[in-house]
Amino acid sequence: MQLQFSPAGGCGPRPAQSPELNRVRVAALVRQMPLLALVIAGNTLALAAMALHSAPLPLTLSAPVALLAICGLMAFDWLRIAGRVIGEEEAGRILRRVNTASTALSMVYIVWVTALYVHADAAQRNALIHAVALTGMFAIFALAQLPKTALLIGGMSLPGFAWLLMTAGDSTSILAGVNIFIVLLSLFMSVSGSSRDFDDMVAARAQASQLAKDKSQLAKDKSQLADEKSQLAEDMSRLADEKSRLAEDNERLANTDSLTRLANRRAFFADISREIDTGDPVLMGIVDLDGFKPVNDLYGHALGDKVLCECAERLRLFGQEGATIARLGGDEFGVFLSGRMTDSDILAFGARICAALKAPVRIGDAHATISSSIGFARFPEDARDAQHLYERADFALYYAKQNRRGEAVLFTADHETNMRMNARIEQCLRRANLEEEIQLEFQPLFDVADQSIVSFEALARWKSPELGAVSPTQFVPVAERSEIIHALTRTVLRKALKAAKAWPESLGVSVNLSVRDLLSPRALTQIVAIIEASEIDTARIDIEVTETSLLTDFEKAEAALTMLKRLGVKISLDDFGTGYSSLSYVHRLPVDKIKIDRSFIQEIHGSGVARDIVKSMIGLIGNLNLHCVTEGVETSEQFDLLRKFGCNVVQGFLFSRPIPQDDVARFIAEAKTKPRLLSRAG
């Protein structure tokens, strides 16, 4: 804080000078300083002329030369500054120069005038007193914007000169000195008050200017804020639109199959559940493509995807009949219709779907032929919710694939009975002590040339404490649909190898493996361990796999069979001709034998087409240097034809039904003493 005189003549705190105040002071001094220089220069020349004959010549001329030089420089400097924009830093430097120049000028002037006063006469002294007083007062007023400088000049010059007058001894000089003191004090008070008012005015103007700037800036900020608010509103609106669009896209993606663009499983069940909630009748169908896996493996996944898309487009046409179509996964599609339909209408609808999908699919140079099986179930007749409706439709589909492949099957009361029975069988299997409850029977296989036994096929028989004797056609499919099959396979394999160990080393034993066994690394490892622990020659072991089991995952199945083949076991492909494989696949597998399914043998005698098919298959198998085994040989006529076609091994009721394990040794002994063949052929 600085102490300055208050308007009342006292002292009070004043804020520090601001750079803006310095600029205003410089602007005011631009007009005053040249006049001050002119006044001092003129006063100096007049006093020098007056004292030319009374004071020494050097004193009279030396000081005026210095004073005139300082005044000239001051005037030139201020004329140069006039009209130019002064920065804050430059304003500070200019004011410091003013302080220095004014102090030097006043000191030179008052010393010179005092020296002249000593040599002057009474008239000259009066003139000097008036000149000094007027010049000092003008200098104080001229420098009023710089109160410190003005008071410094007045305090340095006039008090000393006044004191000189008051000590002169004459009353006139004393009165003049006292008068100068009084005037000087009044000037100090006036300049202090004027300076304070000037500072306040400048501060107020600066404050007003700053306020105006702040107001203008506030208006700009307010306008900018309004613009930003408007922009924010637009951005929020755009984001809301984008969010809505993304939500729609996500909803569409969540309910759409990415490959076929049909509804997916999630959307399918949601639509059916909503329809069921209305209480209206609903028909659900599960469509499975028969033969798609070989197409996918033969031509690659890219073409397989195109086949799926083509099938989807064919199914999409049924949407014109009010059907909702969805892809449930893999080569499985879903369809549902609202409204009540008769059984015949349902089967006719399914037949049209089967016909549409059976038409050849041509994509580029590739030509794929597939078919489809369909299982239907109805609400509310067959189920009360979407999940149970799907389970019944899926059971009808399973029945179609097992018994009426390529057709539509409607879920019936018999299927419901079978489902319940299968559920009960599964529960009993899970609780069963398989080592005690599973017994084996063995059906022999005979060499066509000499009708000698070459091996026995192990067949599982289950006698449940709760269910009694259960047919393999019932419990094996149930086991294969869950992990129970692994325990069943291990049990059958251990028992079969243990039994074969007591047979002649020339006889082999064959055991069936399921697709689950082939595709499970853990199950396969356990099977290998059982074979290695059996201490039986692996060349006597024949592992049978069905043709259809290979279609689930051909690559994994091939790797599993290759690993088993390294042990030295033989590999047989069972039920050949019933699936959708081909000899182009067979040559990629480590297969030793191919078993032609019994369904072909049953018609071989009465159907020329069936006879030609069997003959062609036997010929193709022979060309691949594989052994041919035919199942289901029941008549001597069938045997005669098979022997004529070049079949190697036969199996069937003509020679023997399955034999209990305890009777195998006796059967082997009897086979050495009497022929098994009942044929008329020689």
In terms of DSSP bridges, do strands 361-363 and 332-338 run parallel, antiparallel, or are they unpaired?
unpaired
Cα torsion angle, 141, 143, 146, 152, sign: negative
pLDDT computed for residue 659 by the predictor: 95
- Choose between 231 and 183: higher pLDDT: 231
Answer whether residue 178 shows pLDDT above 90: no
In degrees and rounded to multiples of 5, residue 329 shows phi and psi of: 140, 145
Average pLDDT, the chain: 82
Residue 152 has a pLDDT of 63
CB 410 within 8 A of CB 343: yes
Listing DSSP states for 537-577 in one string gives -GGGEEEEEEHHHHTT-HHHHHHHHHHHHHTT-EEEEEEET
Kindly state the average pLDDT of the residues 213-217.
Answer: 81
User: Is residue 655 within 8 Å of residue 633, measured between CB atoms?
Assistant: yes
Integer Cα distance of 489 and 483 in angstroms = 10
Answer positive or negative: Cα dihedral of 295, 299, 305, 307.
negative
* Phi/psi-derived region of residue 651, left when phi > 0, alpha when psi is between -120 and 50, beta in every other case: beta
- Does residue 387 have a pLDDT over 50? yes
Q: Computed from CA positions of residues 599, 600, 603, 609, in that sequence, does the dihedral angle turn out positive or negative?
A: positive
Q: Can you give the pLDDT at residue 90?
A: 73
Separation CA 229–CA 55 (nearest Å): 84
Residue 156: what pLDDT? 56
Q: 305: exposed, middle or buried (C-beta count within 10 Å: 0-12, 13-18, 19+)?
A: middle
Residue 460 has pLDDT above 90, yes or no: yes
Question: Taking 70 as the threshold, does the pLDDT of residue 449 lie above it?
Answer: yes
Residue with tokens 């008071």: 151
Amino acid (1-letter code) at residue 490 = R
Cβ-in-10-Å burial (0-12, 13-18, 19+) of 315 comes to: buried
Predicted confidence band of residue 12 (pLDDT cuts 50, 70, 90): very low
pLDDT at 459 over 90: yes
Higher-confidence residue of 488 and 215: namely 488
Which residue would you say has higher pLDDT here, 349 or 202?
349
What's the pLDDT score for residue 41? 78
pLDDT bucket at 187, cuts 50 / 70 / 90? low
Residue 165: name the closest of 123, 119, 126, 124 by CA: 126
Q: Which of 37-51, 259-273, 327-341 has the lowest mean pLDDT?
A: 37-51
Per-residue pLDDT at 296: 73
Contact 643, 664 (CB under 8 A): no
> Residue 16's pLDDT is what?
45
Cβ neighbours for 588, distance < 8 A, ≥ 6 positions apart: 558
Any alpha helices (H) in 438-514, and if so which ranges?
Answer: 472-480, 484-500
CA distance 47 to 64: 9
Contact call for residues 66 and 108 (beta carbons, < 8 A): yes
- How far is the C-alpha of 33 from the C-alpha of 20, rounded, in Å? 20
Mean pLDDT score, 542-555: 78
pLDDT in tens, 138-176: 777 667 666 666 666 666 556 656 666 666 666 666 776
The pLDDT > 70 percentage for the chain reads 81
For residue 412, what pLDDT is reported? Answer: 92
- Res 679: pLDDT: 39
Strand runs labelled E in 270-428 = 282-290, 324-329, 332-338, 361-363, 366-368, 371-379, 408-410
Q: pTM score > 0.75 for this model? A: no
Mean pLDDT of 46-51: 81
Asked whether the predicted pLDDT for residue 57 surpasses 60, the reply is yes
Residue 118, pLDDT above cutoff 90: no
Confidence (pLDDT) at 204: 63
Q: What percent of the chain has pLDDT over 90?
A: 40
Region of poorest pLDDT, from 163-167, 262-266, 290-294, 560-564 = 163-167
**Residue 374 burial by CB count (10 A; 0-12/13-18/19+): exposed, middle or buried?**
buried
- In whole angstroms, what is the distance from residue 160 CA to residue 154 CA? 10
CA 161 from centroid of its chain's CA atoms: 94
Greatest Cα pair distance in the chain: 183
Question: Which residues touch 575 (CB under 8 Å, ≥6 apart)?
Answer: 546, 547, 548, 595, 597, 631
586-639, pLDDT tens digit by residue?
777 899 999 988 888 888 877 788 888 889 889 988 888 899 999 999 999 999
